[in-house]
């Protein structure tokens, strides 16, 4: 009888253990990407994927300046500030053409299971080639849309780049530990853990950001505590509306948001602090714009990067937060600085600071 009970208990424990493992496995598995309804023009890439894009401004074949906009985290091509905040007068005066696109897994662009900072840069190059933008064009990236710029600047020619509130990977090998620890400590604990999971256990990213036992990313949750005073003023003027959120996430949060975290905070194959000046003959420029009250990316990190890469033209805006391109008049200033030289807008920049 004793042997029978012992055997029975072992069986029960084994079944329970296997069931628990199966439950855990199912919990951490992201769902398959949803098929996006396609209504926008798309370009086919070498690997068979498609990128959706949206054009705006001066006709492509007649434009003097051509700009590719790269959207940030939990955003899409429809959110481009160059579409909504760039003044029509400036577009006409400088004959500016812009194109924005959905990064892989966002909106109507196919997901890329092999996505990396390098692959996104190559996507940009293929987009430019496919649209016939020529060898010289500008890139304008916001937040996590900047992660590809380092590879872009070292891989193919551009006429210049504007990096707006760029996200920083705290695990870049050349960032000093004391600076990254201090900057990391300024983040809310929930966001610290979201980045740790993305870096150390990317296979858990989906589960971590969908479970309800522990606080998960404030950015994904849309918690207003992550916004600065100026950010909240900007959002208030816009009615706190996010008309494109459903479109942005239509393929599922894993393919858009979670994979973005995994790529952005992984162990990169290069370190941006190793970059050399892409324009040694002064035939182009790289501008970095950052608000000193940005709660997403502490300004201390940008100051350090600007000090180590002196060829970057650093603009620090007093009182500004992460939504810098949405501040009234700011997109015009950034674009004029990029296209015609910062000297011509120095007075207006100083006034806004």
Q: Any idea which residue has 């208030």 for tokens? A: 236
Q: Is the dihedral of CA 330, 60, 155, 130 positive or negative?
A: positive
Instruction: Say if residue 270 is exposed, middle or buried (CB neighbours under 10 Å; 0-12, 13-18, 19+).
Output: middle
Beta-strand pair 160-164/285-291? parallel
Across 94-232, the runs of DSSP E, i.e. the strands, are 96-101, 138-142, 160-164
Where do the domains of the chain lie, and which CATH numbers do they carry?
Answer: 42-186+269-351 (3.40.50.1820)
The encoded tokens of residue 49 equal: 């994927």
Task: Print pLDDT tens along the chain (353 aa).
Answer: 555 455 555 555 544 444 444 444 455 567 777 876 799 999 999 999 999 999 999 999 999 999 999 999 999 999 999 999 999 999 999 999 999 999 999 999 999 999 888 888 889 999 999 999 988 899 999 999 887 555 555 555 578 999 999 999 999 999 999 999 999 999 999 999 999 999 999 999 999 998 888 888 999 998 999 999 999 999 999 888 888 999 999 999 999 999 999 999 999 888 888 888 888 888 888 999 999 999 999 999 999 999 999 999 999 999 999 999 999 999 999 999 999 985 443 333 333 33
What pTM was estimated for this model as a whole? 0.88
């Amino acid at each position: 009888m004793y042997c029978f009970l012992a055997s029975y208990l072992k069986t029960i424990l084994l079944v329970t253990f296997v069931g628990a493992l199966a439950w855990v496995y199912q919990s951490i598995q992201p769902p398959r990407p949803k098929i996006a309804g396609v209504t926008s023009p798309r370009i086919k890439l070498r690997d068979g994927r498609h990128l959706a894009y949206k054009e705006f401004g001066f006709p492509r074949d007649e434009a003097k300046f051509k700009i590719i906009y790269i959207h940030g985290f939990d955003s899409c091509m429809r959110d481009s500030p160059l579409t909504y905040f760039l003044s029509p007068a400036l577009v006409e005066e400088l004959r500016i053409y812009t194109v924005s696109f959905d990064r892989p897994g966002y909106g109507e662009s196919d997901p890329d299971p092999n996505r990396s900072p390098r692959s996104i840069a190559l996507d940009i190059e293929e987009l430019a080639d496919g649209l016939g933008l020529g060898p010289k064009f500008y890139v304008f990236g916001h937040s996590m849309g900047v992660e590809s710029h380092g590879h872009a600047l070292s891989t193919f020619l551009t006429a210049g780049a504007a990096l707006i509130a760029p996200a920083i990977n705290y695990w870049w090998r050349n960032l000093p530990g004391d600076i990254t620890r201090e900057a990391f400590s300024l983040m809310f604990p929930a966001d610290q853990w979201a980045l740790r999971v993305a870096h150390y256990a990317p296979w858990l990213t989906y589960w971590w950001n969908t479970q309800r036992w522990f606080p998960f990313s404030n950015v994904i949750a849309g918690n207003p505590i992550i916004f600065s005073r100026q950010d909240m003023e900007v959002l208030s003027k816009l009615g706190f509306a996010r008309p494109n959120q459903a479109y942005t996430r239509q393929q599922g949060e894993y393919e858009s948001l979670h994979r973005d975290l995994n790529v952005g905070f992984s162990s990169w194959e290069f370190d941006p602090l190793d970059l050399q000046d892409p324009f040694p003959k002064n035939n182009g420029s790289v501008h970095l714009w950052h608000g000193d009250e940005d709660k997403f990316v502490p300004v201390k990190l940008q100051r350090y990067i600007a000090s180590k890469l002196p060829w970057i033209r650093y603009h620090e805006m007093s009182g500004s937060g992460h939504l810098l391109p949405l501040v009234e008049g700011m997109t015009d200033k950034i674009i004029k600085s990029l296209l015609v030289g910062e000297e011509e807008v120095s007075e207006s920049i100083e006034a806004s600071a």
